[in-house]
Amino acid sequence: MRVVDFLLGVAAPLIVIFLTPTVLAARSKLQTGNWLAWTERLSLSTVGWFVGTIALWFMAVGVRRRLRCMSEGSVGISSARAPLGGWVEVGAVSYAGVKWRLRAPRGVPYSVRPASVEAAELEADLPPRCPRCETEVEENPRFWGGYSWSCIRCGFRKHNRDSYYLEASRAERLARRGWEEAARGSPP
Ligand SMILES: [Zn+2]
């Protein structure tokens, strides 16, 4: 949290909350000689307005912060790996309600059969695919948290708590384990 955020979001409302009654009481004491004379005269609607303003303040700061998170969250991290021979598609896995295509480095010379791919080499292709029509899924951050995944071809839509950049690494983990099991099951 940056200093400005802290001052605007936490410190300022707290100062207002504590300072306002103090100032009111002090002025009351100075003018009437009684600490509580002014406080007793405060009507319910004045207190209501005061509390409402503070609540709106907190909400405005929350919305601002959420909007900033959303604009930062939509920047993706792309895979840094670029194998010499390119990628070869070796299968797919279903996870988080969508389909993830799996790829592995083709290697040089270009004669790799999917059976010879090591589990550790597997990567989930991004973006994931629609489970109905295999079109690439579109991701958009949602205001109240999480992400909305949608297919522009068939109208498939789902909400997911985490971004597909994070889910891709989970899909990879599952796929690698499945790959290991399959490799152990098949004769060498
Ligand atoms: Zn679709």
Residue 37 has a pLDDT of: 74
Domain count for the chain? 2
Regarding whether 58 and 106 lie in a shared domain, the answer is: no
Condensed to tens digits (0 to 9), the pLDDT of residues 101-139 reads 999 888 655 555 556 778 888 899 999 999 999 999 999
**Neighbouring residues of the ion ligand 1, judged by CB less than 5 Å:** 130, 132-133, 135, 151, 153-154, 156
Regarding whether 96 and 136 lie in a shared domain, the answer is: yes
Range of the domain at 11: 3-73
Q: Identify whether 80 is part of a domain.
A: no
| Cα–Cα dist 134/88, whole Å | 18
Regarding whether 147 and 96 lie in a shared domain, the answer is: yes
Regarding whether 60 and 15 lie in a shared domain, the answer is: yes
What confidence tier does 79 reach under pLDDT thresholds 50, 70, 90?
low
Q: Identify whether 81 is part of a domain.
A: no
Give residue 96 CA to ligand 1 midpoint distance, Å.
Answer: 15
Regarding whether 116 and 176 lie in a shared domain, the answer is: yes
| Cα–Cα dist 164/147, whole Å | 9
| Mean pLDDT on 75-102 | 81
Give residue 85 CA to ligand 1 midpoint distance, Å.
Answer: 31
| Cα–Cα dist 84/97, whole Å | 32
The pTM of the full predicted model, rounded to 2 decimals, is 0.61
Last-in-domain residue among 73, 96, 131: 73
Condensed to tens digits (0 to 9), the pLDDT of residues 171-185 reads 999 999 998 888 777
What confidence tier does 78 reach under pLDDT thresholds 50, 70, 90?
low
Q: Specify the DSSP class assigned to residue 134.
A: -
